[in-house]
Amino acid sequence: MGKFKIHDALGLRAGKNFRLADVDPAVTPGFSGSKADLAARFARYDEELYELQERLFANGRAHEDGAPSLLVVLQGMDTSGKGGAIRNVFSVFDPQGTKTVGFGKPTDEELAHDFLWRIRKHDPRPGQIVAFDRSHYEDVLIQRVHKWVDEDEVDRRFAAIRDYEQELAGRSVKILKIFLHISPQFQKENLLERTEREDKYWKYDPSDIEERGYWDEYMAAYEDAIRRTDEIWAPWYVLPTDNKKYARMALKFLMVDALRHLELSWPAPDFDPEQERQRILDAE
Amino acid sequence: MGKFKIHDALGLRAGKNFRLADVDPAVTPGFSGSKADLAARFARYDEELYELQERLFANGRAHEDGAPSLLVVLQGMDTSGKGGAIRNVFSVFDPQGTKTVGFGKPTDEELAHDFLWRIRKHDPRPGQIVAFDRSHYEDVLIQRVHKWVDEDEVDRRFAAIRDYEQELAGRSVKILKIFLHISPQFQKENLLERTEREDKYWKYDPSDIEERGYWDEYMAAYEDAIRRTDEIWAPWYVLPTDNKKYARMALKFLMVDALRHLELSWPAPDFDPEQERQRILDAE
């Protein structure tokens, strides 16, 4: 029954020695589970996200190439709620300053290029917040689990991912990588729901059950990917997600924290406010 | 003090004989102005928009080329609140199924192409909802007002716009064109605010005052554009917008109405729900 504090969310940072087995998907560190507490936090974070994003966007308009941006990479097993989490967090943002990209099965054209080709198309512009629903990490997860690529290629991809993310960071792109960590039991409930409700059928794919059979291999691949790509400039956070609302709260907080650290002020006017005020009053 | 009814919003439809002088930007047809009424309507429309968009998106996923889509074109003078209206309405949607595009001053590359080239890049995909913040109409508004194009070219552009929109409609794109109609007095207040608040400076452009000098020419150009391009498949609605909340409510209602008319059901499953349910229960 504690209060959710800054260090609880930041404590979800993975790091180089991260072990996935240490994270129980059902825990909610620092959170009592009270509905009133949750609603109050959502309201507070939403208010702050609203202003921080507008400030970021304003800086993008004013400074163009010089302004920072934010890239949020969401990964997780089927039914972990990546899309819902993005929707929930992004609803407070001005859509003109954000972009959400879902990466599904690569097209033939995409397969004919390097695996980062389709990713690079969506590099954040200055002032923009971009969310990836799945990402370049699929190329070292599903492809590795199914052995569609050999381990040498996996190594090459990890090196390419590290270079890519470092390059982004060098262009003032703040990166947050999030793994929504659910249990197999939780996934089972979610999959069942998709076969039981008319408004959920469209989300169900029979091949999800085959993927589920590779659970342990996926967990091993996630752990390795997280350990090999967690960097100061591209940190991984592993959010326990059997309680979806908890995970969303933690995600909102992490985004608040990332945006706060940009220490953005409102752009200075490139005109004389008092003079322009007078021009408006005199006009017409 | 009446209730806002369906016909009040639909009564804002322009039509071929539309006269802009008939619309007072300050009226709020059918709306009493009560805060409680407004909040209740926003909540109701938001709930319906949420479900209708999900249904549309699900159909896009399930049927791909066969599914309809929605294009909302927003036009209005500076400070009429186009961006804010989009933000307000789109906050309930799943960002993966929507796109917002702002059309500013054309780039050199865009100017080297036909005026519709940059627009066509953003044609809605099946199941998608797209908002244009300014649009191809700028090419028969600002350009005409400033006489950057002659009247023959204006005629050619109107013909191209009509063809383009008819082509979209033929591909099941539902089109809503919205003019957010404000008074010069209301704009003056808004411009003043932008010179008085640190968090608004970035929205102010000294050239807005010069544009304001062409108010009557803009109104004439809007009226003509609306009359010449209002069609059953691409209707114009002129929303009195001196009361921003009223305009947003009307916009929400018009989108509810447009989406309802698609009469979308949830896609039928392409699997046997009972059999899949059993597979999930048996797995692992």
pLDDT tens-digit profile, chain B (284 residues):
346 666 677 788 898 899 999 999 999 887 877 888 889 999 999 999 999 999 999 999 988 678 999 999 999 999 999 999 999 999 999 999 999 999 999 999 999 999 999 999 999 999 999 999 999 999 999 999 999 999 999 999 999 999 999 999 999 999 999 999 999 999 999 999 999 999 999 999 999 999 999 999 999 999 999 999 999 999 999 999 999 999 999 999 999 999 999 999 999 999 999 999 999 999 87
* Closest chain A C-alpha to B173 CA, distance in angstroms: 21
Q: What chain B residue is nearest to A191 in terms of C-alpha separation?
A: B280
Burial class (CB in 10 A: 0-12, 13-18, 19+), A34: exposed
Predicted pLDDT of residue A16: 87
Contact B284, A188 (CB under 8 A): yes
User: Is residue A142 domain-resident?
Assistant: yes
CB nearest to A191's CB, from B90, B92, B280? B280
Residues in chain A: 284
The CA distances from residue A115 to A55, A75, A78, A156, in Å, are: 33, 17, 21, 11
**Distance (Å, rounded) from C-alpha A180 to C-alpha A221?**
14
Maximum Cα–Cα distance across chain A: 73
User: Is residue B26 domain-resident?
Assistant: yes
Q: Is the pLDDT reported for residue A59 higher than 80?
A: yes
User: Is residue A78 domain-resident?
Assistant: yes
User: Is residue A95 domain-resident?
Assistant: yes
User: Is residue B1 domain-resident?
Assistant: no
**Distance (Å, rounded) from C-alpha A148 to C-alpha A155?**
14
Higher pLDDT, A73 or B5: A73
CB pairs under 8 A between A and B: 128
Q: Show residues of chain B in contact with A95, CB under 8 Å.
A: 86-87, 90, 95, 98, 100, 131
Residues B178-215: b if buried by 16+ CB within 10 A, e if exposed: bbbbbbeebbbebbbebbeeeebbbbbeeebbebbeee
Predicted pLDDT of residue A1: 38
**Distance (Å, rounded) from C-alpha A145 to C-alpha B208?**
57
What is the span of the domain harbouring residue A231? 6-282
Q: The domain that contains B276 carries what CATH number?
A: 3.40.50.300
For chain B, the distance separating the N- and C-terminal CA atoms, rounded to the nearest angstrom, is: 63
User: Is residue A1 domain-resident?
Assistant: no
* Closest chain A C-alpha to B204 CA, distance in angstroms: 8
Q: Show residues of chain A in contact with B86, CB under 8 Å.
A: 95-96
Q: Is the pLDDT reported for residue A6 higher than 70?
A: no
Strand, coil or helix: B133: strand
Q: Is the pLDDT reported for residue A47 higher than 80?
A: yes
Q: What chain B residue is nearest to A203 in terms of C-alpha separation?
A: B58
* Residue A211 amino acid letter: E
User: Is residue B225 domain-resident?
Assistant: yes
Contact B187, B208 (CB under 8 A): no
Question: What letter does residue A264 receive in the DSSP assignment?
Answer: P
Contact A206, B280 (CB under 8 A): no
Chosen from B202, B211, B265 to mutate, greatest number of chain A CBs within 10 A: B202
Each residue's pLDDT tens digit, A88-131: 999 999 999 999 999 999 999 999 999 999 999 999 999 999 99
Predicted pLDDT of residue A4: 64
Domains of chain A: total: 1
Q: Is the pLDDT reported for residue A58 higher than 50?
A: yes
Q: Show residues of chain B in contact with A188, CB under 8 Å.
A: 280, 283-284
Interchain contact, B284 vs A131, CB within 8 Å: no
Contact A187, A84 (CB under 8 A): no
Helix, strand, coil share of chain A (percent; to 5): 55, 10, 35
User: Is residue B150 domain-resident?
Assistant: yes
Q: Show residues of chain B in contact with A202, CB under 8 Å.
A: 58, 61-62, 266-267, 269
Strand, coil or helix: A265: coil
Question: What letter does residue A228 receive in the DSSP assignment?
Answer: H
